[in-house]
Structure 1
């Protein structure tokens, strides 16, 4: 075996070892330099990305103090970098979400979560609020200890605003839909729909027109202006007048007829008559959204919404206006159908009443007529029998009168409003004399029982008329009201200690005619007692059969 001699030389071996060590040190130095260059290069790339990012980026210490912020984040918040570095995230966080953010950062430090995302509001330097989407992660050092937070912030104000608007519109639609089921008065419901439409679209004015196909005219029904519904929207319309316009020469109407879809009117000069056009021009109206009210594809009216901002309408705004127009249409048609049903029911009731009159009253009067002829024949020949016939005639007349009253009573709705006259009368006396110096005493005798609405209502009105007379004319200091229930009749007595009057000269005044007519309607008897200086007593006696 041949060996290399130098390998066995101790000096050469030492020199080789030194060279190897130096080489290792050099390699380590080169590796370190390369690592430092890589770190410097990565940091530069990080800084470049940090500063030029299209989203906000921040570094914050574990207490939430900003360490670094990029320009985009400053643009979002309205602060300068130097201002931001003197602040913490809590200084610009809306109070509603601050506690949630603090809890999330605590969970990040504890390792319970690795990332935190949320939608929140920042308070800008000018005091305005801005919606952002925030993503936060925790940075750790080489030993794994938490060192700082890094956050990415995206401005979502526009999308969030649209989302909130959509939520508001859905809530508004739900509110008006509930009103449709609970509000019995058509105009009050239409007022709310018009106000909702104007507010949700953030416009100043809107109008509701009703269309008459017979005359080819639109009539202005109501206008919402600055959040209030007005019946006289334009200064040139007089009190009680209705603005009615023909649609025959209206270009937008032809488009409505053809498409049955909303129409955006930008050429106001071409589509509006002079006075309306001048008024809208003065108000700064740039365009008009006309939304048809459709029922079975037939136009029954229109919404007109005035846009003072631009000629452009967001699709969401048009959809909302259409939805509200559908609710208004449904309310109008339901009211019309209810009125038609009411008229049909009234006609049916009239026919029923006519038939009943024929079957009862006509027969009664026929019997009376026959009995009268017989009585005439017997009055001289047999007076006793003639007297019996006259008694039967009286009974027939009373029967006919009872039937007539019963027929009238059936026309009144079945309601309990006037059934408890004792309570209703007591409440009415208290209300009418509230705030006056007059002393009142209300007494109820007997056991109160329910009255027919027709009787209860008329007795209440008679009492109210008598009380009004005492308050306005009698100069009374004390008023006594008594209601007496008996098995076969009811008594109402209203008495005062006022100045009284002469029945011979005042029988046509003080509502006495009205009271007398009401007593006649319910088959009662009215007795009025009064003398000058001695007060007045109104007594009503009504038989209850």
Structure 2
């Protein structure tokens, strides 16, 4: 074999290679089609190097094999050279027999071998495609060996100089970075498509919820306005079934068999979707024996709704349900004056349905509306019977009161369907309830924490007028949350959904601290009506009277119905706020992650590569240096712009300053509206932390301040930001009532779980020291 040794040709040869590398890098950065860009770059390098074949080779691990593998992704070859990428035996392979090559490439070494220096069986494969000399330079991405670029000499065996291989390493790195950048972009594009699909799914769920809520409001309105129950209930069942995508909706009522005295449930009203088998006329399923459905009836008797798939039911009832196509079933119990009368049931015969809590809440409200209509029917029938036995004047007065109650409910339902301002709607409920029951004043309180002991007044009316809570001096004690033990008077009744009455003359001031305020207002009796969603108490409506009351008013059922409307409005408002806040926070976090993971890292990689090329180019190549400098400046501008976009997603209070200024501004804002003394102290020379750390420290500080003011009732709070060389410390200390941090419910209720999660997220060391009655100190240590 004829062997010629290619000696270094000095600065001219190195210049040609550098120019080719710059041209190849330019093609990789400017040509949109990656395949076209890489092939163009390989051709430029191959022709400049006067070689016969240039290949981009990717390494990959084979879990079931001992040796790693390699495969050719791109190839350029001269006119008279055999293609390797389409050769069935040598387009890919393993490092078996050449493991030392793999180790040296991973160490960043370039390889150069003549054919006779190659080991078998690799040498035979190379000889088959005409290789006389092989040169390999590694490709590193993010500090790891990604693969290599191979250069084959097929016309004559050539030795390549160290300088040539060094320049080719830069070209190889540019090619590898372009391929990796394209893959990252494809991955991000796929993630964006998946995110878009997820947002569509969420939006569809929200629209479905809104349709449900709108339908329930309309159903309630129709039940109130339609006098004929035989028309109102079937219409309501159809409206609920269609909007909730049900297969079957029924009203089933319990009755006792006259002969056997056994209890059964009979389908009284039913709506079915097209193609679904009706149950109301079924020979064996129109009437259900309570003994056969004991597991369901037991839950309904206890006042608990059921939401099951068919596989979770016992065999005896599962077989019956399967015979009429049921796959999932739900039921809401109905009670009239504390007595169980039946249930509204929902069947899905298309899919095994997992009911969401939102669906359950809305469907429960709809079922309760039907139960209220049945109760109203009983009241009407009772009043009609009274009309026959009482004098005409008394009968007309009762009918007038009933019409007035129905009109009141109809107006409230219309406002619930149309009123966008929940506070205005709740004020209307208070005015209507006070007018209907004849109270001197009325107030609405909501619970603020899971213990149900902290209450916030959300509305107050007196003598038919709305009293502004925040601006009225006599309402000062209600301008802040009120803590107290509510169990004494009514929590037991609350959980049963019952209203209670009590007289202030019988109350102990230690048990009911607000008694003096009520006495200054002339109040003697108070009726409390619970606001309950399912089994969750949300608050109550208090109705104040200036006369002594021995029992609940006769029209308390009307007030209970008004309270249900208020409960639904409160729940709708919370659902809307939670959905909006979650969507905003998720989108901000997603944008910040994408900017950091794509633009910022990509620009940083370009700057590093251009810096390496700049150091290799000699000083007399002014034109090449100019292009490299311009490209590096553009990349730095892009990196700065990406960082500005990332900073734009920070909390507004951090936008115009650092963390210490943000805390001072936060203290200033909070101090203007409360009597608590708040002091912020900065120790050491202030320096910047990462955006994520500053964001989370600020949120931790806000949560700790809120806890100290709202729950601990501290009169003095001290904040310290300590900037040291190796660490930064945030400390919040108050002189409040303290707490027992060993109690999980207390930790959750006072937001300490959120503080811990934020501290863990930024790698902080969290310490919470608190003694009941002696205050709390929260410390977060961040190591630099």
Q: TM-score range by the shorter chain?
A: 0.3 to 0.5
Give the TM-score of the pair, scaled to structure 2.
Answer: 0.29
Give the TM-score of the pair, scaled to structure 1.
Answer: 0.41
